[in-house]
Amino acid sequence: MQQVVRVFHQLLPDFVDHVSEQIVANHVPVYASLPQQHVKMALYNAIHSIEIDLAQGTTSTYADYWREVAVQRAQQGISPVHSMLVTHLSTNVMTQFLKQALDREPEALAWWLERTHTIISLGMLVMTEARINALQELGQLGSEPASSGIIIHEQPNLILPPSRWQAPQVLHLQAFGQMRAWRGSSEVLNWGRKSAIALLGILITQRGQWIQREQICDLFWPDLAPNQAEAQFKVALNALTAVLEPERPTRQASSYIQRRNTAYRLAFDTAPIQLDVLRFEQLLQRANQASKPPEAINYYRQALNLYAGDFLGDCLYSDWANAVREQLRNNFVQAACQLAQLLLAEQQPNEALDWAEAALQADPYQESAYQASFMAYAQLGNRVQLQRSYQRCQQVLEHDLGLAPMPATKASYQRAEQTLHQL
């Protein structure tokens, strides 16, 4: 139906950005609990599946597409319930819009409703099967093969036009230690220009907040005239988007980097971007809120294992990253000390020592880490190492800071000595 195709493409510009917020705010209460990022991704999925149909796709094409969607959602940790809800929601919203646009075209509307029901019903079934298989591969389910009993009849040689609404690959970003990035399972190895990786670094530092182009130019090219700095910025931005999205059509907006007038940010709310720093902070929050020590220990371990080194280790001499770097290092040190104390309470002194030492590597003046090491050596019955640990604390503080250990540190050492006497 040409009328359906024409109306459908009239709806596409800015559809996702304008509708997703209304969805979360105005639909059935259960949808309000869904992260807006999931809703937006579901809208992209629904749009693309419908575009496939408008291009005279086949059931095999739908099945392949929905299998890919299911795997991506499983990898992102989106629950099956949320996955089904957002897919159903997206279909409803698209249908409502087309009902309004096609109210004078009953035949076109009837065709639309029939086709949409077929596409999404098949999508739901295939997603169920693909999700189970994906979770098995991720080690989250048993090993029994899953099958929905669906028989897909292949029709080869179908060529689909490129779609600007195709869901982007999951972009994994590592900002701890050396900055690294993966598109899906493929690591980005050639960044082309140093300015591209520096630009990504400053966008990561902002963690989804808008930053003006003029601010970036002032940070990177302070000695250039404004027009020259802006030209350098455009070169860096084009290089970065080319690295992250090598197959993106020339005039299509980036999936990962949003623009609002002259401001830019990473599109955490609309694109599947996973950043180790955000995951680190989420896990620490869960650890702090945990009601039982074993649960807190588990979250602390997961968080601290993400810390592969100082934030943006490639940019150690960039002042714009210093504040975030210091805060994250402090968070790591505090969490390592808290984990060490929890492990001591669980009589696990060896691992407690490891985390206390990790904290001291990041901050050699952290007396809480020394205190944890005292008790760990006491639980191990190692008087020699206990004394050496206290001497190390004294020497470092005196030599570098001209200070003596705090009273709490001296008291901790005395308690460790008493524990040794009782063994």
418 with 279, same domain: the answer is yes
The residue with greater pLDDT, 96 or 371, is: 371
What's residue 204's pLDDT?
95
What's residue 201's pLDDT?
94
What's residue 184's pLDDT?
82
The residue with greater pLDDT, 306 or 2, is: 306
416 with 288, same domain: the answer is yes
What's residue 44's pLDDT?
65
pLDDT band at 318, cuts 50/70/90?
confident
Phi, psi (rounded to 5 degrees) for 199 = -65, -40
63 with 20, same domain: the answer is yes
Residue 163 inside a domain? The answer is no
What's residue 328's pLDDT?
96
85 with 210, same domain: the answer is no
Residue 149 inside a domain? The answer is no
- The pLDDT mean for the chain works out to 78
255 with 366, same domain: the answer is no
109-125: pLDDT as tens digits:
666 666 665 655 556 65
249 with 332, same domain: the answer is no
**Cβ atoms of 291 and 299 closer than 8 Å:** no
Residue 218 inside a domain? The answer is yes
88 with 186, same domain: the answer is no
Buried b or exposed e, range 118-145, using 16+ CB within 10 angstroms: ebbebbbebbbbbbbbbbbeeeeeeeee
Q: What angle do CA 279, 281, 286 make, to 5 degrees?
A: 95
113 with 15, same domain: the answer is yes
59 with 118, same domain: the answer is yes
Residue 208 inside a domain? The answer is yes
Of 274, 307, 323, at which residue does a domain stop? 274
239 with 339, same domain: the answer is no
Three-state DSSP class for residue 257? strand
Residue 77 has pLDDT above 90, yes or no: no
What's residue 257's pLDDT?
93
- Least confident range of 16-20, 49-53, 123-127, 146-150: 146-150
Of 137, 152, 184, at which residue does a domain stop? 137
269 with 296, same domain: the answer is no
53 with 16, same domain: the answer is yes
pLDDT band at 406, cuts 50/70/90?
very high
Residue 351 has pLDDT above 90, yes or no: yes
d(CA 316, CA 31): 43
pLDDT band at 162, cuts 50/70/90?
very low
**Cβ atoms of 239 and 256 closer than 8 Å:** no
What's residue 397's pLDDT?
94
Residue 171, H or E segment: strand 171-174
Residue 142 inside a domain? The answer is no
What's residue 160's pLDDT?
33
Three-state DSSP class for residue 176? strand
- Percent of the chain at pLDDT exceeding 70: 60
What's residue 227's pLDDT?
92
Residue 191 has pLDDT above 50, yes or no: yes
Residue 38 has pLDDT above 50, yes or no: yes
Residue 144 has pLDDT above 50, yes or no: no
> How many domains does one find in the chain?
3
Contacts (Cβ under 8 Å, ≥6 apart) of 283: 299, 300, 302, 303, 306
Residue 129 has pLDDT above 80, yes or no: no
How many residues does the structure list for the chain? Answer: 423
Residue 329 has pLDDT above 80, yes or no: yes
Residue 160 inside a domain? The answer is no
**If you average pLDDT over residues 334-342, what whole number do you get?**
97
pLDDT band at 133, cuts 50/70/90?
low
What's residue 194's pLDDT?
87
Contacts (Cβ under 8 Å, ≥6 apart) of 1: 107, 108, 111, 112
CATH number for position 384? 1.25.40.10
Cβ count near 102 (within 10 Å): 21
Residue 147 inside a domain? The answer is no
Of 210, 242, 274, at which residue does a domain stop? 274
pLDDT band at 378, cuts 50/70/90?
very high
What's residue 98's pLDDT?
63
Residue 153 inside a domain? The answer is no
**Enclosing domain of residue 183:** 171-274
Give pTM, 2 decimals.
0.62
What's residue 161's pLDDT?
36
Displacement of CA 419 from its chain's centroid (Å): 44
The residue with greater pLDDT, 318 or 33, is: 318
CATH number for position 244? 1.10.10.10
